[in-house]
C-alpha cells in the first residue's frame, strides 16, 4: 500500500480539536487535558488520534504513553510553559492581507540574516516590524530569520530547538510570526526561515519516546542522526515534510534555509531533500507563489542545486562558505584553522569566477583532493557573505569584522560581496559597522548539560590560535552584549558606512551587467598575489563594467592592458565615504591607481 501519513499535531476547527500523534511502537496512547484522560485510536501506520469538542485555542495538553510517561506533543504548535511543559492548542485563524504577494526568486534577493532575540532590545517578532522601513531603505528585499522553533529558555541561537512545529514563545509565538510575515509582504520584503532537519537539541527532546525518530546508522556533530532511511522512517520523513510545508503554507514563509544538509543522511531510492523539493514545487503550483529552498553545506558538490534531469535534487541555491573564507583570510591575513586553505588573491578570484575555490584541487586542511566545478549552475544559485551567524558567532569572542580590519577594508569587504555575481547576504548590523559581538549563547536548565556545553566550546577553539577567555554561553551578560546597538546615527563613520552600503546595493540593482547570472558574464582580467589586486569584467548584452579591487594595505597600480576606454562610476576611497581621497581620474585608459584597500567601478565604453 502507499504510505498516506496523517497531519500530526492539534488542529482546531468548527468548535472541536483533532489530536494526532505518531507513535507506531506504543500499545496505548492517551490524551490528558486538565487531569482528564481521553484514549486515542491507532491506525495501521501508527497514528493515534481523537477529536475533542471542549478543547479550544489555549487548551493545554500532554500525551501519556503506555500508561506511564506523560509528555508534550512532539508536533506541538505552542509551548507556552517551556520545553518541559504542556503543549497548547493554537487558533489557526489569521487575517492575512498579502493576497497580491507572489514571492521573490532567489536571484533577485538582497538578503539580510537576523537573530530575533538580538536584533532589538525587545527581542520579539513585533519589534522587528518598526525596522522594516530601515531595511527597505537599505535595499534589502529578503530577511532570513535564524531558527525560531521552540528551544529551552529564552536565549538561544535556535539550533537547539526541540519542537520543530512550535514557534518560540518568548519571540511572540505563532501570531507574532504571522504578523511579521504579513507586514514584510506588505512592504515588499520576502521572509526566509532557517530550519534544522539534521538534529534536535538535547534538552526537551522527547521524540525518541514516541517512536524511532533517530538512528544509530550515522553520526552527526550535534547529536543523534534523524532516521530518514532506517526502519519506520516513513513517519519521520513525513513529520519533517509536514513541518516544511507548515512554514511555507500556513505561515506564508517565502523560503527555507536548510541547515547542514550534508548531515541529513539518506540512502533511500528517493532522497528526503529530493522529495521535499517535489512537495514544495507542488505547493508553488497550488498557491501561485514562489517558494525558495536554500541548502547550507560545504561539500563543494553541486548535486543539491543541480536539476533533477542532471541527477541533482533541484534546490534553488546554497550558501557558499568558501567565498567567505577566501575573502576573510585575504582581508584579515588570518590563516589559522580551516583558513589555511585560503589567503591569496587567486583564491578569491577563483571564488568570484567558479563559486567554489576547491574544484578538485588538493586541500591542505582536509588533506585530500576536494570539490568539483559547478559548470552548469548559474551564479544566482549561490548565496555569499562577508559575515554570518556561524562565521562571527563561532569565533571565540564572537568578534565582527569591525574589530579586525580598517574602515577602508570594511568598505572593501562590502563591495566584494555586493558586487559579486552571487546573491548577497548581509549579517545584521554589518551595514553600519556594529561593534557589539555576536557570541554563542544558551539558557538551558539542565546544569550538567550547561557544563558540557561550556567544555565543548573551549575544546572547539583549541585548533585556532585565538587568545582570551571563552565567553560563558549560559551567562545572561553574554547574550545581552550581543544585542544590536543601533547607534549609527550618533557616529559619522557608522552613518557613512550605512550610506555606502545603500549606494552599492543601488548600483547593483541598476546595472544589467552586475545582475547577469550566466557564467560567461564574468571574466578575471587580472589577479596578482603579490600586489593583492583583482580586476573583473562583468557584462550583459549592452553593458560592460570593470571592477578593480585592491586588498593591499599599500597603493597599487592596475594596467589596463585591454586598452578599454573607461568612465569611473564609483570610488570607495572618495572623501564622500570618509576615504583618503580619489587618486584616479574619472576616465582612465592606461594605468589605474588604486588606493590601499579600495574598490573602483568603471563603465567600459
Tell which residue, 597, 529, 585, 588, has the closest CA to residue 562.
588
Query: 3-state class of 90 per DSSP?
Result: coil
- Tell me if residue 296 is catalytic: yes
Looking at residue 579, the DSSP 8-state letter turns out to be -
How many CB atoms neighbour CB 458 within 10 A?
12
Question: Do residues 106 and 292 lie in contact, with contact meaning Cβ atoms separated by under 8 Å?
Answer: yes
- Tell me if residue 183 is catalytic: no
CA distance 570 to 591: 17
CA distance 527 to 525: 7
Burial 488-507 (b: 16+ CB within 10 A, else e): beeeeebbbbbbbbebbbeb
Q: Across-strand partners of 559? A: 591
CA distance 497 to 508: 17
How many CB atoms neighbour CB 409 within 10 A?
18
CA distance 586 to 465: 44
DSSP H helices in 368-420: 389-393, 407-418
Tell which residue, 125, 130, 131, 128, has the closest CA to residue 176.
125
Which residue among 73, 296, 380, 434 is the active-site one?
A: 296
Q: At a CB cut-off of 8 Å and minimum separation 6, what does 371 contact?
A: 299, 300, 301, 356, 357, 358, 359, 360, 361, 363
CA distance 380 to 582: 33
List the 566-571 sheet strands across, edge first.
522-528, 533-539, 544-550, 598-604, 566-571
CA distance 120 to 172: 13
Which residue among 73, 160, 230, 259 is the active-site one?
A: 259
**How far is residue 299 from each of residues 163, 203, 285, 360, 519, measured CA to CA in Å?**
28, 30, 31, 11, 21
Question: Do residues 574 and 602 lie in contact, with contact meaning Cβ atoms separated by under 8 Å?
Answer: no
For residue 478 the three cell numbers come to 553574554
Residues with active-site annotation: 259, 296
Amino acid at each position: 500500500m502507499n504510505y498516506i501519513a496523517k497531519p500530526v499535531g492539534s488542529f482546531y476547527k468548527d468548535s472541536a480539536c483533532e489530536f494526532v500523534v505518531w507513535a507506531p511502537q506504543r500499545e496505548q496512547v492517551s490524551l490528558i487535558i486538565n487531569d482528564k484522560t481521553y484514549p486515542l485510536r491507532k491506525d495501521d501506520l501508527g497514528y493515534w488520534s481523537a477529536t475533542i469538542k471542549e478543547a479550544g485555542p489555549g487548551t493545554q495538553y500532554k500525551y501519556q504513553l503506555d500508561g506511564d510517561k506523560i509528555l508534550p506533543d512532539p508536533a506541538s504548535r505552542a509551548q507556552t510553559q517551556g520545553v518541559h511543559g504542556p503543549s497548547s492548542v493554537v487558533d489557526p485563524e489569521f487575517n492575512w492581507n498579502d493576497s497580491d504577494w507572489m514571492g521573490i526568486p532567489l536571484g533577485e534577493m538582497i538578503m539580510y540574516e537576523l537573530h530575533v532575540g538580538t536584533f532589538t532590545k525587545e527581542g520579539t517578532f513585533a519589534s522587528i516590524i518598526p525596522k522594516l522601513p530601515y531595511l527597505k531603505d537599505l535595499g534589502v528585499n529578503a530577511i532570513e530569520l535564524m531558527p525560531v522553533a521552540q528551544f529551552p529558555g529564552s536565549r538561544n541561537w535556535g539550533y537547539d530547538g526541540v519542537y520543530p512545529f512550535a514557534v518560540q514563545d518568548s519571540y511572540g509565538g505563532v501570531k507574532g510570526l504571522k504578523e511579521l510575515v504579513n507586514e514584510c509582504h506588505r512592504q515588499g520584503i520576502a521572509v526566509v526561515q532557517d530550519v534544522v532537519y539534521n538534529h534536535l537539541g538535547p534538552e526537551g527532546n522527547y521524540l525518541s519516546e514516541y517512536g524511532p525518530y533517530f538512528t544509530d546508522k550515522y553520526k552527526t556533530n550535534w547529536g543523534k542522526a534523524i532516521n530518514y532511511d532506517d526502519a519506520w522512517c516513513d513517519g519521520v520523513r513525513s513529520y519533517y515534510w509536514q513541518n516544511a510545508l507548515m512554514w511555507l503554507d500556513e505561515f506564508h514563509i517565502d523560503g527555507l534555509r536548510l541547515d547542514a544538509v550534508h548531515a541529513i543522511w539518506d540512502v533511500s531510492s528517493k532522497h528526503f531533500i529530493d522529495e521535499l523539493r517535489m512537495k514544495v514545487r507542488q505547493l508553488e503550483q497550488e498557491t501561485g507563489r514562489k517558494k525558495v529552498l536554500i541548502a547550507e553545506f560545504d561539500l563543494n558538490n553541486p548535486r543539491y542545486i543541480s536539476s533533477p534531469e542532471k541527477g541533482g535534487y533541484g534546490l534553488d541555491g546554497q550558501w557558499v562558505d568558501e567565498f567567505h573564507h577566501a575573502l576573510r583570510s585575504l582581508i584579515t591575513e588570518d590563516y589559522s584553522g580551516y583558513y589555511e586553505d585560503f589567503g591569496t588573491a587567486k583564491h578569491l578570484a577563483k571564488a568570484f569566477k567558479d563559486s567554489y575555490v576547491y574544484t578538485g584541487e588538493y586541500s591542505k586542511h582536509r588533506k585530500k583532493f576536494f570539490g568539483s566545478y559547478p559548470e552548469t549552475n548559474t551564479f544566482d544559485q549561490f548565496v555569499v557573505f562577508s559575515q554570518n551567524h556561524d562565521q562571527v558567532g563561532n569565533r571565540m569572542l564572537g568578534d565582527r569584522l569591525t574589530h579586525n580590519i580598517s574602515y577602508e577594508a570594511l568598505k572593501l569587504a562590502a563591495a566584494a560581496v555586493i558586487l559579486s555575481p552571487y546573491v548577497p547576504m548581509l549579517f545584521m548590523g554589518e551595514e553600519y559597522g556594529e561593534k557589539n559581538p555576536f557570541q554563542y549563547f544558551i539558557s538551558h536548565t539542565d546544569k550538567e548539560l550547561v557544563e558540557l556545553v561550556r567544555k565543548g566550546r573551549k575544546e572547539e577553539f583549541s585548533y585556532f590560535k585565538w587568545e582570551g577567555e571563552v565567553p560563558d554561553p549560559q551567562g545572561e551578560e553574554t547574550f545581552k552584549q550581543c544585542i544590536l546597538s543601533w547607534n549609527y546615527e550618533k557616529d559619522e563613520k557608522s552613518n557613512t558606512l550605512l550610506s555606502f552600503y545603500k549606494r552599492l546595493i543601488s548600483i547593483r540593482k541598476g546595472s544589467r551587467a552586475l545582475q547577469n547570472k550566466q557564467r560567461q558574464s564574468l571574466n578575471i582580467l587580472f589577479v596578482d598575489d603579490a600586489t593583492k589586486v583583482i580586476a573583473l569584467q562583468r557584462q550583459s548584452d549592452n553593458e560592460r563594467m570593470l571592477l578593480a579591487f585592491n586588498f593591499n594595505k599599500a597603493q597599487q597600480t592596475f594596467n589596463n592592458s585591454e586598452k578599454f576606454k573607461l568612465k569611473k562610476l564609483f570610488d570607495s576611497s572618495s572623501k564622500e565615504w570618509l576615504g583618503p581621497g580619489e587618486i584616479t581620474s574619472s576616465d582612465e585608459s592606461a594605468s589605474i591607481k588604486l588606493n590601499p584597500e579600495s574598490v573602483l567601478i568603471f563603465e567600459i565604453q
